[in-house]
Amino acid sequence: MRIALIADTHGYLDPRIADAIRGADILVHAGDVGAGIEAEIAPLAARIVIVQGNNDPADSGWPNSEVLALPGGDLAVMHGHQWPAKTRHRKLREQFPDARAIVCGHSHRRVQQSDENPWLLNPGAAGRTRAYGGPGWMDLFAEAGQWRVHGESLEPQPRRRRKPG
């Protein structure tokens, strides 16, 4: 099973990422979605899971966290803004101790910690806003006996300059 992981689009999904994640079994957005993104990602995967980030409207209808039962274990999803950077990973692991992996966003920085349980995965920003090292995503391949993660960052797209006048 292929689960595509994105976060921190802030109203813009890099079209190269949209092409790359198209066809996933599940697409997980770990918050700070932005206007129009839910409709844009809906056709990209068989199932869409979105959690609310600190920049999403309170009435979005998205939960603060979600736990998905996958082959081989549970995947927890939470934006992560609830705690300061210094304690965030520890607090997420305390919040979801029985998960096989936790997906978060908020920092806009890619993290792949699979050396302790639960794993901690942050795909980085999938849009333009603070896409450190370029916009990115992760694919999680979940099978009963094995989970594998593949992350990718793209070259930043140049900003278009407005013509005067």
Q: Which residues have C-beta within 8 Å of that of residue 68, sequence separation ≥ 6?
A: 3, 26, 28, 49, 74, 75, 76, 77
pLDDT tens per residue across span 131-159: 777 789 999 999 998 999 998 887 777 66
pLDDT tens per residue across span 92-120: 999 999 999 999 999 988 999 999 999 99
| pLDDT value at residue 1 | 97
| pLDDT value at residue 164 | 60
String of b and e for 9-20 (b: at least 16 CB within 10 Å)?
bbebbbebbbeb
pTM above 0.85, yes or no: yes
